[in-house]
A = this chain, B = another copy of it.
Amino acid sequence: MQKADKSNENQRPLILVSNDDGITAKGIRELVEAMTQLGEVIVVAPDSPQSGMGHAITIHMPLKARKSDIFKDLGVEAYECSGTPADCVKLAKFHLFENRTPDLVVSGINHGSNTSISILYSGTMSAAIEGAIEGLPAIGFSLCDYGENADFSHVRPYLLKIAEQTLKNGLPKNIALNVNFPARFDKETQIEQTIKGAKVCRQAHARWQEKFDLRTDPYGREYLWLAGEFVNPDKGEDTDEWAVNNGYVSIVPCQFDMTAHHGITHINNEWNIEK
């Protein structure tokens, strides 16, 4: 189990906060505010938006990190970093924190859903998964509302409960949580939604059906914008997509061992390759 480091035993838990929308996003402030109720918070977050960065790390460029007073009003130490969310967690663990180990890594709250296949493209979840790789309890939080001024006011009780339970019980080894909150207002009806509870789910088997907008720049050169539509043929009621679309908070435990064990047997049986 990944539990609090002994060196922090007599102190409040140390909570590392990161995100992928950048240190100035509304979602990270919501998360920082909530976490100050549970422990000592340190923020290490990108200095610019990093959405869609997946598990990217910066290896061919130098990184810059500098102290920021953006959360001074909350009494929270913060650093902004030129790199990706995964870089931020590595930087915190191996450089900034030196002899202290965070008791919890939290990332978000992302402006936009990270259910299903979106976990692969998600910078928010890469920070959480990087935490889990480092042996730390870690959670990525996302809100199913892409708006810059998204309303996060309804998520606080669940944010606190999930973080509290993780601090108290730890998480199984090599697992991070992918937590998604329903939007406060229904996208179509604009009716306010009440969260009905939380469900521990599996990742829905859905995907993005892409299309590319072909445009012409002021110099007559063609360029493209990636756009896509989320397609979910998975009708299971045990999925994260079902949960958030039915008023529940979805909690998916995620692993970073990507081995498809059933595939090993299949290839050993079916293939004819010199071994």
Contact = CB atoms under 8 A, between A and B. Distances in A.
B226 A90 contact: yes
Interface stretch (A3-11, A99-107, A185-193, A207-215): A207-215
Contact of A255 (B91, B254, B258): B258
A152 to B, nearest CB: 19
Contact of A273 (B161, B205, B223): B161
A42 interface: no
A275 B224 contact: no
Given A53-B54, A117-B133, A254 B259 contact: yes
Number of copies: 2
The interface residues of chain A, by DSSP majority, are classed as mixed
A86 B126 CA distance: 16
Contact of A197 (B58, B224, B253, B274): B274
Contact of A264 (B134, B171, B200): B200
A266 B202 contact: no
Given A54-B57, A253-B260, A260-B253, A267 B224 contact: no
Interface of A: 49, 51-60, 62-65, 83, 86-87, 90-91, 93-95, 117, 119-121, 126, 129, 133-134, 161-162, 165, 169, 171-172, 174-175, 178, 197-203, 205, 207, 209-212, 214-215, 217, 221-226, 251-264, 266-268, 270-275
